[in-house]
Chains A and B, each alone.
Chain A
Amino acid sequence: MSSITADELEPFIEETAVEHRRGFRHRWYRTPSFVAGVVILGIVVLAALAAPLITKYNPTSQDLLSTLQGPSARHWLGTDDLGRDVWSRLVYGARTDLRVAFLAVVLPFIIGTVLGLLAGYYGGLTDTFASFFVNIVVAFPFYVLIIALVFALGSGTRNIYIAITIVGWVSYTRIIRGEVLVAKRRDYVLAAKSGGLSDFRILFRHLLPNVITQAVIFACSDIVLDILAIVTLGYLGLGVQPPTPDWGNMIASGQTYLTTHWQLSTFPGIAVVFTALGLSLLADGLADLLRPE
């Protein structure tokens, strides 16, 4: 709004801001993107958890007599080139990819947040060093560095976690550092300092709860990035190793039969998009709900 409107409406804006702070609990169900995100993600997570209950076939058992079948009552989404049930693989793929994606954000989140706190709070040499490393990592295109690291380390989920951690902490450090730079000038930090509290206590008891929100919101979109990265690695054959079901793998192996059996690549792709949409909506809704003033 222009300054004029702000001027005219100042008393009202003040009040809406207070209303915003009034809480998550009362308003989450009135934020459509948040509700939609929870529902979509809920469906995917439930399907992944209930995988043995909602599938009839083992996702890795081959049936070379019934390969490349179209959708039918027996195989809801048909079978792949090795006669494996596509629906089973899709559901078990959710297990793999969701687990890896969720676990992959944990370390970057923790490391990035702590570094951001220290860099923002202490400034000076600490900040110079942290920023230097941030600048080096962001000089590499996201996928190039991930792929190069996975290549050097060797494929497999453990190395995916390591690669994503080496690349991913940067965003959290940037976000938290920026938030701390603003927050440390606020009264409550100055009060805590003049009260003689230890730096450790100020950092983790007073600053952290106030700056963590942005990192949490980013983590939701970061999981989307990680899912895409995992699926992309799988597509390139560098990710989760076969025969463990993984959506990226499924898309890659289906690509060979694109002209005749388009569904093989399409369904896992839709699964990725659906899951990512749920997470994006969740992030969007969270940002809406947690926006403080």
Chain B
Amino acid sequence: MTREPLVKVRDLRVEFQLARGTVHAVDGVSFDVEPGEAFGLVGESGSGKTVTLRALVGLLPRGAKLTGGTIEIDGVDVTAADEDTQRHLRGTTVSMIFQEPMTALNPVMRVGDQIAEEPLVRLGMSRSAARARAIELMALVGIPDPRRRAQAYPHELSGGLRQRVMIAIALSGDPKLVLCDEPTTALDVTIQDQILKLLRKLQHELDVSLVFVSHDLAVIAQTCRRLAVMYAGQVVESGAVEQVFREPRHPYTLGLLRAVPDFEVVRERLASIPGSPPDLAAPPAGCRFHPRCRFVQEDCLAIPVELERLDAGREVRCLHHDQTAADVEREPVIVDA
């Protein structure tokens, strides 16, 4: 990889101020995304993956505040940029696909107009050119009979078509980076597969980078080349998808993999991770995963654990990652057919 990364996130920190204290929703997250690459962010809800994604597009939820770190997109440090510069990056450089297309589409605007809005306003196209562009985009994302469907309102379309409209909107500004926030979670399984294939096809054809947020490892495996696993606001493991899935080094990643039903091999019994994610207003001392960890030892409770670099592009936040390795050795996660 000689190309300069499209996205450089360094030590990102986002906090929520609540009456009961400060919640460190994102606590020192770093990763790169290369041009044309699909990168996955994995974790349970509350792990900070969605907030990280929102920070990338500069649209943090209300009450959230960026308190540290830098996000460089296409050479521009968006954390230092003013509101206008950030706004100009949205749509034409970074765009976003949301989880629930029903709520993410304006219910009282025809879908054609919603897709045409960016060409019209941002790219300065004429009304008719923008409309033509919208229909072109709808055809591109595989919406049959786009000319007629452009006149429809969101509630008149099926879930799958709505998500295709959402994708068309995300592509309408010709962005370099598309952020996907669990784009298939709300859809039927068969439709999920179609949408994922579409996204992969578009990624290659249009040479855009994707950042995929999901709790579903199967989705990540199907779409991404590299991934970072997040837990309690921190990255606990990162690397190439193939490698992380085959040889996980963090007990949390291992737990996630073991909890996946029917993941390339039918498992005898499903393992689940005991306990629940920690309260981020008062995270556990030492390793944040220690209360739920099978391999916990005394030193895990002492000091915060740093990310450790294993080999090129492979990092893990665990003092005893050899334990995980040994466990995988005993019982492989992926059995080649």
Contacts and interface: CB of A to CB of B under 8 A. Distances in A.
A and B directly contacting (CB within 8 A): yes
Interface of A: 1-5, 7-12, 15-16
B64 to A, nearest CB: 8
A280 B309 CA distance: 63
Given A1-B61, A5-B62, A12 B100 contact: no
Nearest to B47: A8
Interface string B11-49: 000001011100101000000000000000000011010
B190 interface: no
A12 B281 contact: yes
Contacts of B54: 4
Contacts of A1: 61-62
B49 to A, nearest CB: 9
A8 B62 contact: no
Question: What is the interface of chain A mostly: helix, strand, loop, or mixed?
Answer: helix
A3 B62 contact: no
Contact of B51 (A3, A8, A11): A8
A5 B63 contact: yes
B4 interface: no
Contacts of B279: 11-12
A10 B47 CA distance: 12
Given A4-B54, A5-B61, 6 more contacts: A5-B64, A7-B50, A8-B51, A8-B61, A15-B20, A16-B19
A12 B23 contact: yes
B199 to A, nearest CB: 20
B180 to A, nearest CB: 13
Contacts of A8: 25, 45-46, 48, 50-51, 61
Nearest to A2: B61
Interface in B41-100: 45-46, 48, 50-51, 54, 61-64, 99-100
A3 B64 CA distance: 14
21 contacts: A1-B62, A2-B61, A3-B99, A3-B103, A4-B50, A4-B54, A4-B181, A5-B62, A7-B50, A8-B25, A8-B45, A8-B46, A8-B48, A9-B16, A9-B23, A10-B46, A11-B279, A12-B18, A12-B20, A12-B279, A16-B19
Contacts of A9: 16, 18, 23
Contacts of B276: 11
Query: What range describes how many residues of B lie at the interface?
Result: 20 to 34
| 9 smallest beta-carbon distances between A and B, as pairs | A5-B61, A7-B45, A4-B50, A8-B46, A12-B18, A2-B61, A4-B61, A8-B51, A8-B50
Given A1-B62, A3-B103, A4-B181, A11 B46 contact: yes
A16 B63 CA distance: 15
B164 to A, nearest CB: 21
B166 to A, nearest CB: 15
Nearest to B103: A3
B174 to A, nearest CB: 26
A104 B176 CA distance: 67
A121 to B, nearest CB: 33
Nearest to A16: B19
A60 to B, nearest CB: 55
Nearest to B279: A11
Interface string B134-149: 0000000000000000
A21 B190 CA distance: 44
A12 B99 CA distance: 22
B318 to A, nearest CB: 24
Contacts of B20: 12, 15-16
B92 to A, nearest CB: 23
B302 to A, nearest CB: 26
Interface in B221-260: none
Contacts of B61: 1-2, 4-5, 8
Q: Which of B23, B45, B99, B103 has the most CB of A within 10 A?
A: B45
Interface in B147-181: 181
